[in-house]
Amino acid sequence: MPEGLAELHVHIEGTLEPELIFILAERNGIALPYRDLDDLRSRYAFDDLQSFLDLYYANMAVLRTAEDFADLARAYFARAARAGVTRAEFFFDPQAHTARGVAVHEVVAGLSDAVAGARREFGIDAAMIASIVRDRPVPEAHEVFGELLRLGAPIIGLGLDSAEVGYPPSLFEDVFARARAEGLHVTAHAGEEGPPEYVWQALDLLGAERIDHGIRSLEDPALVARLVDERIPLTVCPFSNVRLRAVDSLAEHPLRRMLAEGLAVSVHSDDPAYFGGYVDDNLVGLTDALGLTEAEREVLRRNSWDAAFL
């Protein structure tokens, strides 16, 4: 078993810290709608997933060039290394950038440059997973995936993220079939705000090898039995669940029940710049709130490696 943690559910755009937002805005001549850092930070109170996404996408305006994306990824690798991460499989959202006029090649060039040096610079084995933004038009998903293929983007998998309710995995069955045909791994956000049915669809229609979030799977005993029997990994993000009101508090988080049920759950940071902490912070918070034992933390660590696309 490798040393350290494998972080498998983190959105690189969600690691964009307020300080870097201001640095990139100045570099790119972008006028921010915030008076200062404190004004920006004051807006990090979210009622639900959509209220978070509104700020998340607005802040991406500062990401314009390959250099910006490389700086973003390197900043995450530096912080992740301090958290004990030695394998990072991070999501990026091409459509979030093409929709505002940034070419896919700028995104891919910057991120892949940072990935290429991650082991040497930070001791992290890093890999990229392109994510389909589910609340954008389905034909656009096919277009951006085709562009990634034309560029020969060094991605290891295809994911599905953004606003879950009303955008079931079934909408994207065809593009994920293309991904599997290309030999890519498949993962999907399901069962955080959306119902257990979305988890079933992710497995049966998309061919998902792991489920991102999946906390509402507990509502469906038959689904739990399947996830346990097939050892389908669930990449859970506790701080995210609480900040987006999917769970009322860390003390009420279902992680310990998920472990007791035999689910292959592991802990990750999702969008740490927005949700108050990186993967080490999540683990400390859970230990304090739930009384996680050292043995349970080791199970979570081992599960993260078992779930990695290695």
Active site residues: 192
CA distance 287 to 105: 41
- Closest by CA position to 260, among listed 218, 222, 219, 230: 218
Write out the two tokens for 26. Answer: 């100045």
- Element housing 212 (H / E): strand 210-213
SS3 state of residue 79: helix
In a 10 Å sphere around its CB, with 0-12 CB exposed, 13-18 middle and 19+ buried, how is residue 207 labelled? Answer: middle
CA torsion through residues 236, 239, 245, 249, sign: positive
Enumerate residues 6+ apart whose C-beta is below 8 A from 160: 131, 132, 134, 169, 172, 176, 187, 188, 189, 190, 202, 206
Query: 144: which 2 tokens?
Result: 């951006």
